[in-house]
C-alpha cells in the first residue's frame, strides 16, 4: 500500500523536539469503520518491517469534507513508546498517511525507510492555481476558539521586539513603542480556521506588512517567509501571500489581548488561521522552503481559504 508510493521524509528538529522523523505518504484506500483502519495500519507497518498493535486515539473533522484520524502503533517489545499515525480522509477514502517516529524508536526509522521510496517535497507543485475546487463549507461561530499549542508566552509591550533577518538588505529589530507611532491600518475581515470554523467581521488595527518590507528590503530571490513566535510556534508563508498581511497591534480599539497573540501577531485574512502567527518574534526571508510547526504534520505550504488548501497534495 505504501512500499511503491513516493513519500516525503521530514526532520522536525526543534519544532517537535520529541519526534525523530515524519514520513508523509499519499495513499488511496477505502474504509468503513475504525477497525478497517486499524487493520490497514497493522498490515501497512508489517509490510514496512515493523510488527505491533494499533490503538485508536481520536478523530477530528477538518472542514466539511475531510476527517483526520490519529492512531498509535506500539511496536513489539516497546513498553510505552509508539509510532504516531495520522490519516487524512475525504469521504470514505484515506488519501494521506503520516508515520511519526519518536526519538525513543529512532532505530525503527531505518527499518521503515529501507522499504519506502523517498523523494524531496516540492512545494511549488502545491502552489499551482486550482480548478474545480470542491465545496467545503465553514461553520460560523460567535467567538474564536483560542489555541495555544505551546502555551501562552507573557511578553509585555515594553519587552517585545520583532527581529527581521535572512535574505534582506538590512537586518531590522522593530520595537512596539516605535510601531504604534507608525501610520496604522484598520481591516474588518472574517477569520477562518483550518478545522472548519469561522468568525465574521473581526476588526484589527496594525502596521501593514509593506512597512516591514520597505524597512528590511528583502532580496528578489526571497520566495518564502518563515515566521516564529515567542512560544516557539512557527509557520511558513509564500512571499506573495506574506506581502498582503497586517502586523496586528490592536483588536478593535484596544491593545491586542494576550490570548489572541498580544502584544503583536500577524493576520493574513486570505489564509487559514494557522499561518497568522501569534506572539510574533522573528521573520526570516528565505529562498528555499522549510516546514513550520503544522506543515511538518502535512498541512499545506500556502493555506489559501478560497482554494481550500488544508493539506499538502504532493
Domains contained in the chain, CATH given: 6-120 (3.30.310), 139-297 (3.90.420.10)
Collapsed DSSP state (helix, strand, coil) of residue 102: strand
Q: What local confidence, expressed as pLDDT, does residue 249 receive?
A: 98
Q: What local confidence, expressed as pLDDT, does residue 76 receive?
A: 94
Which parts of the chain sit beneath pLDDT 50?
A: none
Q: How many CB atoms lie within 10 A of CB 199?
A: 18
11: which DSSP letter?
A: -
Q: In 3D, which of 96, 197, 206 has the Cα closest to residue 144?
A: 197
Which residues, in sequence order, are CB contacts of 259 under 8 Å at separation 6+?
A: 146, 148, 152
- Give the burial class of 65: count Cβ atoms within 10 A of its Cβ; 0-12 exposed, 13-18 middle, 19 or more buried: middle
Which residues, in sequence order, are CB contacts of 52 under 8 Å at separation 6+?
A: 42, 45, 73, 74, 75, 76, 78
Q: In 3D, which of 51, 57, 88 has the Cα closest to residue 72?
A: 57
Question: What is the C-alpha separation between 256 and 262, in angstroms, rounded?
Answer: 5
3-state secondary structure 13-72: HHHCCCEEEEEEEEEEEECCCHHHHHHHHHHHHHHCCCCEEEEEEEEEEECCCEEEEEEE
Q: What local confidence, expressed as pLDDT, does residue 2 receive?
A: 62
Question: What is the C-alpha separation between 139 and 191, in angstroms, rounded?
Answer: 11
Q: What local confidence, expressed as pLDDT, does residue 66 receive?
A: 93
Question: What is the C-alpha separation between 39 and 36, in angstroms, rounded?
Answer: 5
Q: What local confidence, expressed as pLDDT, does residue 50 receive?
A: 95
**Residue matched to cell numbers 473533522:** 61
Helices (H), the chain: 34-47, 106-113, 176-179, 209-216, 239-242
Taking the mean position of all CA atoms in its chain, how far away is CA 138?
A: 18
130: which DSSP letter?
A: P
pTM listed for this prediction: 0.94
Amino acid at each position: 500500500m505504501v512500499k511503491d508510493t513516493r513519500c516525503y521524509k521530514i526532520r522536525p528538529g526543534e519544532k517537535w523536539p520529541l519526534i525523530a522523523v515524519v514520513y508523509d505518504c499519499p495513499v488511496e484506500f477505502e474504509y468503513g469503520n475504525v477497525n478497517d483502519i486499524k487493520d490497514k495500519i497493522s498490515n501497512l507497518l508489517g509490510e514496512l518491517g515493523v510488527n505491533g498493535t494499533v490503538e485508536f486515539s481520536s478523530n477530528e473533522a477538518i472542514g466539511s469534507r475531510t476527517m483526520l484520524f490519529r492512531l498509535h502503533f506500539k511496536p513489539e517489545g516497546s513498553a510505552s513508546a509508539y509510532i504516531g499515525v495520522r490519516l487524512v480522509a475525504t469521504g470514505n477514502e484515506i488519501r494521506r498517511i503520516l508515520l511519526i517516529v519518536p526519538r525513543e524508536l529512532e532505530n525503527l526509522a531505518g527499518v521503515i525507510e529501507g522499504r519506502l521510496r523517498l523523494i524531496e517535497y516540492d512545494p511549488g507543485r502545491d502552489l499551482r492555481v486550482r480548478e474545480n475546487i470542491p465545496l467545503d463549507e465553514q461553520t460560523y461561530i460567535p467567538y474564536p476558539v483560542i489555541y495555544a499549542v505551546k502555551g501562552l508566552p507573557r511578553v509585555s509591550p515594553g519587552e517585545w521586539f520583532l527581529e527581521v533577518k535572512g535574505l534582506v538588505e538590512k537586518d531590522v529589530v522593530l520595537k512596539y513603542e516605535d510601531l504604534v507611532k507608525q501610520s496604522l491600518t484598520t481591516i474588518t475581515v472574517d477569520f477562518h480556521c483550518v478545522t472548519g470554523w469561522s468568525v465574521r467581521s473581526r476588526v484589527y488595527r496594525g502596521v501593514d506588512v509593506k512597512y516591514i518590507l520597505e524597512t528590511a528590503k528583502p532580496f528578489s530571490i526571497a520566495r518564502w517567509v518563515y515566521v516564529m513566535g515567542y512560544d516557539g510556534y512557527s509557520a511558513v508563508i509564500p512571499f506573495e501571500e506574506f506581502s498582503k498581511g497586517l502586523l496586528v497591534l490592536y483588536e478593535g480599539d484596544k491593545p491586542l489581548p494576550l490570548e489572541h497573540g498580544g502584544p503583536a501577531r500577524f493576520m493574513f485574512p486570505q489564509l487559514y488561521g494557522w499561518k497568522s502567527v501569534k506572539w510574533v518574534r522573528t521573520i526570516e526571508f528565505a529562498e528555499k522552503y522549510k516546514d513550520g510547526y503544522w506543515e511538518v504534520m502535512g498541512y499545506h505550504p500556502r493555506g489559501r481559504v478560497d482554494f481550500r488548501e488544508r493539506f499538502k497534495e504532493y
